[in-house]
Amino acid sequence: MNELSIFVDESGVQEGNTPYYLVTLVLHDQSKDITSNIRNYEEHLSVAGLPDIPFHSTPLLHGNESYRSLSSQQRKQLLVNFSTFTRKLPIRYVTFMYESKIFKSKEILTRLVRRDLANFIYEHYEFLCGFETIKIFYDDGQRAVSHAMKESFKYMLSRDSLLFPKTDYRKYRLAQVADYLCSIELAAMKYQNGIHTFTDERFYGKREAFHKNFYKKVSKKRLSTI
């Protein structure tokens, strides 16, 4: 079956309590196998003596949750390994960004995301219609994103071709990739506007190093290159 998977992640607070709100979609044509990519990534972790923790950017950067017992150097190694893994995957992605000052409620944010998703679908309609099935994976973490996704895709595309399975990021590497790319796009925005933090520099380096070692490499996978 000709199938497209879309993994969704967000960064920010839907009520507008953070400077930026981002929504990232990772697209994967299921005919392009990633089994070897995953196997190589896991082998690299094993050889380096690193734990295979499901990637989650915020806890990794701050040493929380599953990363609590790891040193900052180990966490940085995990970040670099996951960056390399992502860069080699046959995927494309798109990120929508919003300054929180332009919306005051999740209802307004829903409208903004729905608008941008509709434009995205319109611009790539021929590509999307080339798939018999489109599966959208999201954990329903924030209603603004969930509602906008379902309304936009079901309105613009055939209802029969869409599935919305609830997603546990720990079970899907590409859900983790969506989290990673969302965090990288957020970091790029922070570096651009001079509001990056000590933690950002600790893991990504100065602005030039961040762009060279992280952002430039993955931004080649933006959807515009399809």
Task: Using the structure block, give the residue that is written with the tokens 């599966």.
Answer: 135
Is 70 exceeded by the pLDDT of residue 17? no
Backbone angles phi, psi at 135, to 5 degrees: -110, 125
Burial 16-38, CB ≥16 within 10 A → b, else e: beeebbbbbbbbbbeeeebeebe
pLDDT of residue 157: 85
Separation CA 119–CA 94 (nearest Å): 12
Backbone angles phi, psi at 123, to 5 degrees: -65, -30
Separation CA 206–CA 80 (nearest Å): 15
pLDDT of residue 144: 76
Mean pLDDT, range 21-49, rounded to an integer: 96
Separation CA 197–CA 38 (nearest Å): 31
Separation CA 76–CA 138 (nearest Å): 27
Burial classification of residue 64, based on how many CB atoms lie within 10 Å of its CB (0-12 exposed, 13-18 middle, 19 or more buried): exposed
Mean pLDDT, range 32-60, rounded to an integer: 96
**DSSP 8-state assignment for residue 130:** T
pLDDT of residue 179: 95
Separation CA 119–CA 72 (nearest Å): 41
Is 80 exceeded by the pLDDT of residue 158? no
pLDDT of residue 13: 62
Report the candidate in 122, 121, 89, 131 with the shortest Cα–Cα distance to residue 221: 89
pLDDT in tens, 77-133: 999 999 999 999 999 999 999 887 777 777 888 889 899 999 999 999 999 999 999
**DSSP 8-state assignment for residue 53:** P
Separation CA 58–CA 47 (nearest Å): 25
Q: Which helix (H) or strand (E) holds 162?
A: strand 162-163
Domain boundaries defined on the chain: 3-225
Task: Using the structure block, give the residue that is written with the tokens 């995301």.
Answer: 113
pLDDT of residue 159: 66
**DSSP 8-state assignment for residue 214:** I
Q: What's the CATH architecture for 3-225?
A: 2-Layer Sandwich (3.30)
